[in-house]
Structure 1
Amino acid sequence: MSVMAWDDRQARDHVVRTEALLTSLSALSDPAARDRATEAAQALVALYGECLARVMALAGADTARAVADDELVGHLLLVHGLHPEPAEGRIRTALAGLRGLGEAELLAVEGPLARVRVRARGCGSSGETLRTAVQEAVAWAAPEIERVEIEEAAAAAVEPPLIPVEALSRGGARTGGAHS
């Protein structure tokens, strides 16, 4: 028996193909065949989930984290509720990857709800881009989160200039008396 060694691109392609095949089951015209095929797929997923649960139970904490860090295996662990890192940590890591768009801070995870505070950089459209990126990052990192509430951070206070503008004008810096 050979061992498959897919690179990340091949794994992603296979995931897309598998999702398409599973989705196509609903198009089967024979209801009995459709139900049987769906039941077979669900049984296979449950079997692999049980196998993963046993592997994770045998793995030490460091091994479990290393296994979960693999993109494909990590998402399979998420599907089965076996990921060793809590949702909060996964979300914080995902939000840290958005720094180029602005700031996104996880405020709380309350069951299926995540609350995030954002502060965009630049114009209003970048704020919408950041909000969309936050939604996508949370969905990817923590699919068990059903809703993301995003609150806008208050605008940062503007620091006063080092030299008052009045002092820069021609007459503003004079302290009386005529020039000699």
Structure 2
Amino acid sequence: MTPEQTGARIQEALDHLAGADAQEAGEHLVRELMALYGDALARLVQALPPAALARLLDEPSLAGLLVLHDLHPEDVTARITRALATLPEPVDLAAFDPATGTARLRRTRSGCGCGEQDIENALACHAPEVTAVELERPAELLQIGARPPAGPR
């Protein structure tokens, strides 16, 4: 489909927005725009050398668009790992259940670090398939220090 054809379809949808079927026309308009952007992105992805595309995958907005149009070259596990690598504190993927959308994550060290909201935000663009996060926390170690100084007996 050419941009001109898409433009004509978009104009047709806009003309319908004035009528009673505005919601249907709006949804049609969104589908047409998604198709246009998806076709353009597909051509761009095909034209880019793999090394150039790989450098762009860390950009959250581009990664999100590639996922939305089913053009992202990485599988969901790789995208989850990529998202977790952007966090200030190490968090590893323990498991992902595609049936429930649940990612079980493990902090690799204790500390205050990033919260669950930070993790969910990182995952939102790179792996929208993740709909729930279970965060395993590392066991707290007992801190053993020197014996207190001996007092008078």
- Cα 1:29–1:40 shift into 2, 3 Å: closer
- Corresponding letter in the other structure for 1:133: D
For 1:171 and 1:70, the matched residues in 2 are separated by: 64
**Residue 131 of structure 1: CA displacement?**
1.9
- Corresponding letter in the other structure for 1:114: A
For 2:53 and 2:105, the matched residues in 1 are separated by: 28
- Cα 1:133–1:73 shift into 2, 3 Å: closer
Aligned to 1:164: 147
Q: Could you tell me which runs of 5 or more consecutive residues in structure 2 were left unpaired when the two chains were aligned.
A: 1-16
**What SS does structure 2 have at the residue aligned with 1:158?**
coil
Aligned to 1:63: 52
Higher helix content, 1 or 2 = 1
Aligned to 2:133: 148
TM-score in terms of structure 2 length: 0.67
Please state if 1:115 is matched with 2:100. Answer: no
- Corresponding letter in the other structure for 2:61: L
- Corresponding letter in the other structure for 1:109: F
For 2:72 and 2:48, the matched residues in 1 are separated by: 12
**What SS does structure 1 have at the residue aligned with 2:115?**
helix
When the two chains are superposed, the root-mean-square deviation of aligned CA atoms in Å is: 3.1
Match for residue 46 of structure 1 among 32, 35, 38: 35
**What SS does structure 1 have at the residue aligned with 2:21?**
helix
For 2:82 and 2:60, the matched residues in 1 are separated by: 14
**What SS does structure 2 have at the residue aligned with 1:98?**
coil
**Residue 56 of structure 1: CA displacement?**
1.7
TM-score in terms of structure 1 length: 0.59
**Residue 62 of structure 1: CA displacement?**
0.9
- Cα 1:64–1:131 shift into 2, 3 Å: same
- Cα 1:150–1:115 shift into 2, 3 Å: same
Q: Is the CA contact (8 Å cut-off) linking 2:58 and 2:82 kept in structure 1?
A: no
- Could you say which structure has the larger radius of gyration? 1
Q: Could you tell me which runs of 5 or more consecutive residues in structure 1 were left unpaired when the two chains were aligned.
A: 1-27, 173-180
For 2:72 and 2:58, the matched residues in 1 are separated by: 10
Which structure's relative contact order is higher, taking Cα pairs within 8 Å and 6+ residues apart? 2
For 1:53 and 1:60, the matched residues in 2 are separated by: 13
Aligned residues: 135
% of aligned pairs identical? 29
